């Protein structure tokens, strides 16, 4: 039984050739060979002094040798009943002397033999030294055959693994590719041709036929930069379809190493056209909605001003109500701008809300701390809270005095965000005896809308307020 490996890869091996040549010399014989016995034949994969490459298994000396566990030596095959009728003995080759060492695989399977032959019969067998030497040579032959087998198995397993990976990649909805250093694009899954109807590109410039003309230059520059630095790549562009239309994809690629000269690249193209167009439509609708909300705020403040004009009793109330509405409008514009990108961090929102009190142009109001993102749903309650705090500070606290200052600090604390409002340089403060509308408004916004808590420390040097809000509620 022959262990599995590629016999064609073994034939002509120079190491085996040297071993059989030395075996012949060791045994003072003109010929030697390494035979591997198959089901119906034996093949000589390395030989010295032989002009045949195979014989039938039925007349093979080595077929019997490999079934034993010691050397098989035949001094005169013509007089040996086991072999005298073999073609090699009776016909022109006139084989007379044979000695073979069995070749057994690491699993215990018989493979063949290392054999030495002569056309002259002998009266004496090999010496002990010769026998030992032939066994040692047979062990070297087995190691060489095992090395060939392992190499063959490694190649086979690698090929099989590659075929499995290719099978999986051909079944995924994304386009997948790989590239050798250069880059030279050397492998695509079947999805590429299915989508584009064309042959895969092999160079960056070949991609020009598949990327929208308005997108190619900018994206290729980004990719070349990623190649030169062996860094991850991601970009969005339009891919030409088989019917000539274009669809948006997100293109991602990663290098196998951080060495630009040797890194292979692996990438995917994911169709995002439907999502992209829906996003564009949502942005258009959001912009229209933001514009209408802004107009509504303007109409309401205009109506309030118009209705209170000339009415001293309602003028003060109207002014306070309008300042609240303007704060809400600023927060709304920040979270949902009519044009451009919306703000994302809490500090940016607070700067917008505190701008009327000097947050942008002086050191009267300072905003420091961690960069914390917030969601659009938190903009309105935050606007109510900090507009009320600033209004109170301007009337009774630090912002009512020339030397007054307000410091706002933002800190992440586990699952919470802690906002500290600290006043200084203003008049002495004391806790009020009654709770006004503004305080109730702040409490409602913090407790009910943001799910947080607030503590107040009425120090003589200035009010300190600590607001704790769950991060999850802040980012909604």
Distance CA 53, CA 59 (A): 14
pLDDT exceeds cutoff 60 at 290 = no
pLDDT exceeds cutoff 80 at 434 = no
pLDDT exceeds cutoff 80 at 92 = no
The percentage of residues in the chain with a pLDDT greater than 70, rounded to a whole number, is 79
User: What does the pLDDT average to over 210-218?
Assistant: 95
- What does the pLDDT look like over 46-59, one tens digit per residue? 999 988 888 899 88
Tell me the two tokens of residue 111. 């493979």
pLDDT exceeds cutoff 80 at 97 = yes
Tell me the two tokens of residue 113. 């033999």
- What does the pLDDT look like over 140-157, one tens digit per residue? 999 998 888 887 777 777
Query: Could you tell me the pLDDT band of residue 2, with boundaries at 50, 70 and 90?
Result: very low
pLDDT at residue 1, as a whole number: 39
51 within 8 A of 93, measured Cβ to Cβ: no
Distance CA 184, CA 178 (A): 9
66 within 8 A of 112, measured Cβ to Cβ: yes
pLDDT exceeds cutoff 70 at 125 = yes
pLDDT exceeds cutoff 50 at 267 = yes
- What does the pLDDT look like over 442-458, one tens digit per residue? 888 888 888 899 999 99
337 within 8 A of 288, measured Cβ to Cβ: no
Query: Could you tell me the pLDDT band of residue 327, with boundaries at 50, 70 and 90?
Result: low
- What does the pLDDT look like over 61-73, one tens digit per residue? 999 999 998 999 9
Place of tokens 């408004």: 441
The percentage of residues in the chain with a pLDDT greater than 90, rounded to a whole number, is 44
Question: Among residues 119, 30, 21, which one has the least CA distance to residue 74?
Answer: 119
pLDDT at residue 278, as a whole number: 72
**Phi and psi dihedrals of 423, rounded to 5?**
-100, 145
User: What does the pLDDT average to over 81-103?
Assistant: 90
- What does the pLDDT look like over 3-28, one tens digit per residue? 444 555 677 789 999 999 999 999 99
Distance CA 465, CA 418 (A): 10
pLDDT exceeds cutoff 90 at 435 = no
pLDDT exceeds cutoff 80 at 296 = no
pLDDT at residue 295, as a whole number: 59
Query: Could you tell me the pLDDT band of residue 242, with boundaries at 50, 70 and 90?
Result: very high
More confident residue, 459 or 91: 459
**Phi and psi dihedrals of 408, rounded to 5?**
-115, 125
pLDDT at residue 99, as a whole number: 96
pLDDT exceeds cutoff 70 at 172 = no
- Per-residue DSSP letter, 396: T
Query: Could you tell me the pLDDT band of residue 316, with boundaries at 50, 70 and 90?
Result: low
Query: Could you tell me the pLDDT band of residue 381, with boundaries at 50, 70 and 90?
Result: confident
* CA pseudo-torsion sign 192, 193, 199, 205: negative
pLDDT exceeds cutoff 80 at 90 = yes
pLDDT exceeds cutoff 90 at 245 = yes
């Amino acid at each position: 039984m022959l262990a599995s490996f590629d016999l064609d890869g073994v034939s002509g091996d120079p190491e085996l050739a040297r071993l059989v040549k030395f075996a012949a010399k060791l045994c003072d014989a003109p010929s030697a060979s390494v035979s591997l016995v198959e089901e119906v034949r034996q093949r000589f994969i390395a030989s010295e002094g032989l002009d045949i490459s195979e014989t039938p298994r039925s007349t093979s000396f080595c077929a019997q040798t490999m079934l034993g566990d010691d050397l098989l030596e035949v001094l005169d095959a013509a007089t040996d009943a086991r072999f005298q009728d073999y073609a090699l003995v009776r016909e022109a080759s006139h084989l007379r002397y044979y000695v073979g060492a069995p070749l057994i695989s690491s699993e215990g399977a018989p493979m063949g033999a290392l054999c030495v032959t002569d056309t002259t019969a002998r009266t004496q067998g090999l010496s002990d030294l010769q026998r030992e030497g032939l066994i040692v040579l047979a062990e070297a032959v087995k190691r060489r055959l095992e090395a060939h087998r392992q190499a063959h198995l490694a190649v086979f397993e690698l090929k099989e693994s590659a075929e499995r990976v290719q099978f999986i990649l051909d079944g995924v909805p994304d386009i997948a590719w790989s590239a050798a250093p250069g880059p030279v694009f050397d492998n695509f899954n079947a999805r590429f041709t299915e989508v584009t109807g064309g042959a895969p590109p092999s160079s960056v410039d070949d991609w020009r036929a598949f990327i929208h003309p308005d997108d190619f230059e900018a994206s290729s520059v980004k990719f070349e930069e990623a190649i030169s630095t062996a860094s991850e790549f991601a970009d969005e562009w339009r891919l030409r379809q088989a019917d000539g239309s274009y669809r948006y994809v997100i293109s991602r690629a990663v290098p196998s190493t951080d060495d630009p000269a040797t890194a292979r690249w692996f990438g995917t193209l994911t169709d995002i056209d439907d999502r992209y167009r829906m996003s564009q439509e949502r942005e258009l609708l959001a912009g229209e909605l933001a514009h209408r909300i802004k107009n509504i705020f303007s109409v309401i403040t205009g109506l309030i001003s118009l209705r209170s004009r000339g009415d001293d009793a309602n003028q003060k109330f109207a002014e306070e109500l309008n300042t609240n509405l303007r704060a809400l409008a600023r927060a709304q514009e920040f979270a949902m701008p009519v044009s451009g990108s919306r703000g994302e961090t809490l500090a940016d929102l607070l700067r917008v809300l505190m701008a009327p009190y000097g947050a942008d142009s002086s050191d009267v109001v300072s905003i420091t701390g961690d960069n914390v993102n917030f969601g659009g749903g938190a903009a309105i309650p935050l606007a109510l809270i900090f507009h009320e705090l600033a209004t109170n500070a301007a009337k009774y606290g630090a912002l009512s005095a020339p030397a007054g200052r307000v410091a706002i600090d933002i800190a992440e604390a586990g699952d919470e965000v802690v906002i500290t409002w600290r006043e200084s340089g203003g008049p002495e403060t004391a806790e009020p005896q009654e709770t006004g509308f503004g305080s109730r408004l702040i409490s409602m916004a913090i407790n009910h809308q943001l799910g947080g808590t607030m503590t107040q420390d009425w120090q003589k040097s200035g009010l300190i307020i600590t607001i704790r809000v769950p991060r999850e509620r802040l980012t909604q």
